[in-house]
Amino acid sequence: MPQAMTDTALTLFNSLTRQLEPFEPVHPGEARVYTCGPTVYNYPHIGNMRAYVFADVLGRALSFKGYKLTHVINITDVGHLTDDADAGEDKMEKMAARRAQSIWDIAKHYTEAYWADVKALNIREPAHWSVATDYIDEMLDFAQQIAPKHCYELGSGLYFDVSTVADYGRLARAVTEEGEGRIEAVDGKRNAADFAIWRKTPAGETRQMEWDSPWGRGAPGWHLECSVMSGKLLGFPFDIHTGGIDHREIHHPNEIAQNQAFCGCGGLSDVANSGARLWMHNNFLVERSGKMSKSSGEFLRVQLLLDKGYHPLAYRMMCLQAQYRSELEFSWEGLGAALTRLKRLVMQAERLADAGVADLSTALVNPKFAPLIAKFDAAICDDLNTPIALTALEEALAVKKVDAAIKKAVVARMDEVLGLNLLGLSRPDLRICPKDAQITEAEIDEALARRKAARAEKDFAASDAIRDELITQDVEIMDGDPLGWEWKLGE
């Protein structure tokens, strides 16, 4: 087991108990985490990606504290309806029909697009990407085990009776204080909150994705998928289940109810009966105009940030500047400010390029670094307070008159948690270069070299001409730039 830097306990906010709780692993020395992944019917927006940056920082923090991490993120390729409750159409079927493509092709395309964003944001690969359609047999087993005591059949499917488990909806009530969230009526349901765990294909219809079951041909419900994959891969109870705050209303209460049924039906006064010891939720990324959407307004994808010339890690920086439980408002100015902050860090880290890396133990006893390491560790242990952790990293980079190898060890260790790739990036990586720019970076560098030569020879007419020529191509030369950046392309 890797050595933790200090003995401070990692404290995390449990949405189910509404309390900060010290992390106590189910299996000594291990941390098993399940994250609700994307439904691959469309590209993720950057708000969705905030959920995975959060889960990534959580995983990195657990590794940092010395736990052996097993992280699972699922890929939902069946069963998620356009409304989280039992209403609407299957998102995948709907997109496939609109595109006249097979669901499998749609799923492949958007899974790969999601993975590209994961990579761009320096999110670590989980131990397992569990794909829902790979677990149909296990879902049928799980459903058959809980059906006799907890489910009933209607014409449209097999439904879970939420009155058969204690404390149904506690997670939602903890949030709203008003019960079960939005629930659509389905004829014959015993309780408004009952939900389908198996949805039958309507008579006379065929669906692209359907399987035989004891309740007829059909497809699993979305909530069933996550219960089955998390239990199968991590074992009940596992340590932490994560998702965005919207999941506190329907998806996670329903997963919890199924897990209680599967595990022997204990109430939630023992949180482990929910299937996980901790339920953690990231707050939303919002736009000034309100909720982030894939259909209205500008579709804010990681690719759009890239097209506008921003390095994707500027967006990661933006996420880290807020604690995960705070709402975060996206704006292009905010993204620009995060980029500038990242540039400053990279400039300082570049000075360490030629240094070796000292053993971290030397930093822990160094009077300049020890307090900063303690500050960083305390911030991370305080429910992943990344805004404070970032300032500790900045202060470490700014320490003067120290052995560069020790500084490098500290920066590397802190950045293992924050994931900004500070020692891998260089200034040119962070220049704003929009996709539709008319000029290449090599051409800009070549023009700047000619301009430098002209200025050295005091040929200011020639140097001005080169600058004017660059301006017509949207290149702004930043002679007096305090960051020492030489140019940027217009936005």
| C-alpha count within 13 angstroms, C-beta hemisphere, residue 79 | 27
Q: 44 vs 169, which CB is nearer to ligand AMP?
A: 44
- Indicate the residue type of 152: Y
How far is the C-alpha of 177 from the C-alpha of 171, rounded, in Å? 10
* Of the candidates 361, 150, 349, 400, the residue with the CA atom closest to the CA atom of residue 254: 150
Q: How far is the CB of 177 from Zn ion (least distance, A)?
A: 24
Q: 36 or 372, CB closer to Zn ion?
A: 36
Angle separating helix axes 404-418 and 370-381, nearest 10 degrees = 0
226 binds, among ligand AMP, Zn ion, none (CB under 5 to 8 A by kind): Zn ion
Q: Which is nearer to ligand AMP, 39 or 386 (CB)?
A: 39
Q: Which tokens in the block code for residue 362?
A: 């030397």
What residue type is 346 in one-letter code? V
226 binds Zn ion (CB under 5 A): yes
Q: Is the Cβ of residue 315 or residue 369 nearer to ligand AMP in the bound state? A: 315
Report 19-58 residues binding Zn ion (CB under 5 A).
36
Indicate left, alpha or beta for 18 from its phi (over 0: left) and psi (-120 to 50: alpha). left
# binding residues, Zn ion (CB under 5 A):
2
* Residue facing ligand AMP at closest CB distance: 244
**DSSP character for 298?**
S
- In angstroms, what is the minimal distance from the CB of 96 to Zn ion? 21
What does the binding site for ligand AMP look like in residue numbers (CB under 6 A)?
A: 36, 38-39, 47-48, 50-51, 243-244, 246-247, 282, 284-285, 292
Nearer to Zn ion, 36 or 384 (CB): 36
**Taking the complex as a whole, how short is the minimal distance between the CB of residue 54 and ligand AMP, in angstroms?**
8
- Note whether 33 and 71 are within 8 A (CB): yes
Instruction: Give phi and psi for 22, each to the nearest 5.
Output: -65, 140
C-alpha triplet 344, 345, 351: angle, nearest 5°: 100
From the list Zn ion, ligand AMP, none, pick the one residue 284 interacts with, judged by a Cβ distance below 5 to 8 Å according to partner type. ligand AMP
228 contacts Zn ion (rule: CB under 5 A): no
Nearer to ligand AMP, 284 or 485 (CB): 284
**What span, in angstroms and rounded, lies between the C-alpha atoms of 468 and 475?**
9
Return the one option of Zn ion, ligand AMP, none that residue 59 interacts with (CB less than 5 to 8 A, by type): none
Q: Give the E-state strand segments of 313-415 in sequence order.
A: 328-330
- Contacts with Zn ion by CB under 5 A lie at 36, 226
